Structure 1
């Protein structure tokens, strides 16, 4: 009789326990589904040449867009507006929130070609330039720290040499390197280093390539790669002109001295320069990525210095630091983009925020270009041609197999004039 009662009780309780367990499991799964870039809303307004950055606070990813160029693409459309998006993996992404405008020490507040980086729980915003109605341009010395927790900007020590269109790289979650860039009347070969702990500036080993603006670069651990941009060409019978600079350089930061960089030339992946690409390094893959940009350098309105409208390039360059090789692939986006200041990682997908599409159209889209890890080692039976080429530093082409992130062999990937 007792055994029968126990059996009846078990029949009553078990379905309820099972159902509760199912609900808890389902809730856990739903709470841990990562937000993908396809879920991210567009910016409230189109913007190009905007400074972008991310920081992670309390397991939430904060994505930022500061200043830039509006839809009209004239000097009147250069602004200092700022936006923030909080990507919470436990919920759907929120909408972009307006932040206080970025302050400025100059009369004109809007800026182009600024750069921003996230360091720990703050964002650091450097430089940029203003444009007046007569097309005069001034490089600003301003450096601001934005604290997402308080929502306040703090003015920091100014750049020793104000630059815009520079590359900004973070080392050891402390030092910010500003590589080359434009200063009022010409490019500089400086590598200016800001110490976020002491608030002081220091010069590192100068950039050994031709000074450029609009170049792109990334850093992984102590390895830096900088590619392309625009150099200045002097003339005897007319004003200077601008030309695409086809060149890549690898710099290795001395682990004992953060201001000493061993710069070396690096074979170019294609032999054709690009301007205002989006780039970033990725510690998880030990690679540096370059996305989009244009092969025709242009003024801020998207019209080339040669008078021809510029178009965006669809290529992705990937430099494998360990192997010293380049991989060339194509963006997964519906349309390529250009006029960027940075490449952002959102849950393994690499995105650009705003920029320009075809016909120099300023966009508000958050565009996903590729996901990592993207390269996998597969058994021969599951390999498929992808049209992706890999170039070793000796110039010899090496075949690479790329698969989608949901490939059956994914488990084999080791996750370890006028300017």
Structure 2
């Protein structure tokens, strides 16, 4: 049977419309469990705990966002039971902001951060603790030679931990400090050759590190200014001599530089995953150094180490910023706490998956 010309045209338009329809963009989802209280700028890690894979949060900023709201609180969230509880706090006398946490050989290592005094003075702190999820106890380790906060921390060979750049009391530093979890010794690795930054993000997969964005400190008109740093560096490690890192600049990701993104390495995919982040440098309350509130990012993307290219992965259902890490458990990624679009501190846990 012959179809009328009008019917054929209608069918063609319908088919064309189907072909042109974009595929649904991968989205995150809000997990059906929350942190015991809102917290931001918190160090996060995941480890196999007594009840299975468990998300941990240490230190950070409470909902009031003042110097009084710096926290040493710690939380444990068991993924299987979808429950979160408060655990023993980090054993420091006052709260810490911008700490880093890394899991090595079943223990979580927590590095530094900074304290805030009533008069606004900030001090980079040197403490290092190893938290044992089996006992719930902290063991103090050798202090950092150069105390840093808002640094990037990555593990290597299930033994070493690198602290890359970051803020030290009065300015950013280029030093790369390597901690040996077996001996407790610190060694300096090849320095970071890029502009020294704080609040940068990155991760490690295999023998390769990616460091991107953050905030640079510059002087203009006799005044210190904090500006977003649009940069990305790749560091390739020598597995036989882990202090040696071959650094090279690579292309920056699309869009504006981001501050305090959540990030982690994806070993299976040989890529580094990034999510969220703020579009305007700020101290700790979400209001920029220029007085303009920071806006959170709604994307998650990756740097593919095989092709040396960036890959867009999806969108967050709720934009998010002020993170110190991204936790990976199984095939899922988790963002714990942070700030939302109104610079409000949240107890939300966000979860997303990506294709391999």
Q: Say whether the fold is shared (TM-score over 0.5).
A: yes
How far 1:58 moved relative to its partner? 6.5
Counterpart Cα distance in 2 of 1:345 and 1:37: 15
Counterpart of 2:290?
306
Greater helix proportion: 1
Question: Which aligned pairs between 1:368-407 and structure 2 lie closer than 5 A?
Answer: 368=351, 370-372=352-354, 374=355
Counterpart Cα distance in 2 of 1:79 and 1:117: 19
Counterpart of 1:121?
106
> Is 1:99 aligned with 2:91?
no
User: C-alpha offsets along residues 360-387 of structure 1, whole Å, 9 cap, x if unaligned?
Assistant: 011001012x313x2xxxxxxxxxxxxx
* Partners of 1:251 and 1:261 within 8 A in 2: yes
Question: Which aligned pairs between 1:190-229 and structure 2 lie closer than 5 A?
Answer: 190-229=175-214
Question: Which aligned pairs between 1:70-85 and structure 2 lie closer than 5 A?
Answer: 70-85=62-77
Counterpart of 2:79?
87
Counterpart Cα distance in 1 of 2:137 and 2:153: 22
> Is 1:61 aligned with 2:53?
yes
Counterpart of 2:169?
184
Counterpart Cα distance in 2 of 1:40 and 1:113: 26
Counterpart of 1:235?
220
How far 1:181 moved relative to its partner? 0.2
Question: Which aligned pairs between 1:8-407 and structure 2 lie closer than 5 A?
Answer: 40-57=32-49, 60-88=52-80, 92-93=81-82, 95-104=83-92, 108-237=93-222, 239-270=223-254, 272-331=256-315, 333-368=316-351, 370-372=352-354, 374=355
User: C-alpha offsets along residues 334-382 of structure 1, whole Å, 9 cap, x if unaligned?
Assistant: 21100000011133121200000011011001012x313x2xxxxxxxx
Counterpart Cα distance in 1 of 2:188 and 2:226: 26
How far 1:40 moved relative to its partner? 4.5
* Partners of 1:246 and 1:271 within 8 A in 2: no
Q: Highest CA radius of gyration, 1 or 2? A: 1
The runs of 5 or more residues in structure 1 that have no matched partner are 1-35, 375-414
Counterpart Cα distance in 2 of 1:307 and 1:58: 45
User: CA 1:40/1:122 → structure 2, altered by over 3 Å: closer, same or farther?
Assistant: farther
User: CA 1:39/1:355 → structure 2, altered by over 3 Å: closer, same or farther?
Assistant: closer
SS of 1:76's equivalent? helix
TM-score (ref. length: structure 2): 0.89
Matched residues, number? 329
How far 1:59 moved relative to its partner? 7.8
Counterpart Cα distance in 2 of 1:161 and 1:224: 21
* Partners of 1:52 and 1:116 within 8 A in 2: yes
Counterpart Cα distance in 2 of 1:242 and 1:38: 33
* Partners of 2:176 and 2:191 within 8 A in 1: yes
How far 1:39 moved relative to its partner? 5.0
Greater strand proportion: 2
* Partners of 1:37 and 1:346 within 8 A in 2: no
User: C-alpha offsets along residues 162-208 of structure 1, whole Å, 9 cap, x if unaligned?
Assistant: 00000000001110000000000000001100000111000000001
Counterpart Cα distance in 1 of 2:76 and 2:144: 25
Higher relative contact order (CA 8 A, sep 6+): 2
Counterpart Cα distance in 2 of 1:167 and 1:53: 13
The runs of 5 or more residues in structure 2 that have no matched partner are 1-27
TM-score (ref. length: structure 1): 0.76
SS of 1:259's equivalent? strand
* Coordinate RMSD, CA, aligned: 1.6
Counterpart Cα distance in 2 of 1:190 and 1:228: 17
